[in-house]
Amino acid sequence: MTKAELIEKIAKDAGITKVQANEVLDSFTGAVVATLKKGDRVTLVGFGTFSVSARAARNGRNPQTGATIKIKARKVPKFKAGKLLSEKVASKK
């Protein structure tokens, strides 16, 4: 599903315009990004949790040359599906 398809679905289900649905989606993603940048987590009960995970620095290999390279430590976004979401995806209905 693309962003445009998601906006169309939100607009139809909520009975609002696509412009309003786009604003809602942009507001949601902006709030999630801002919260993660602060190092906090966003928990949507039944759906899942967005959080930030730290990756340690490590050595890797350049696949073209085989040379060893250093990969810097960094923070990465992480999503863990909630129980309800996991159950619905796994069910055959």
pLDDT tens by residue, the chain, 93 residues: 999 999 999 999 999 999 999 999 999 999 999 999 999 999 999 999 999 999 999 999 999 999 999 999 999 999 999 999 999 999 876
Set out the domains of the chain in order of their start, with CATH numbers. 3-90 (4.10.520.10)
What is the pLDDT at residue 93? 63
Closest of 51, 50, 47, 49 to residue 86, by C-alpha: 47
Query: Does residue 68 contact residue 61 with C-beta atoms inside 8 Å?
Result: yes
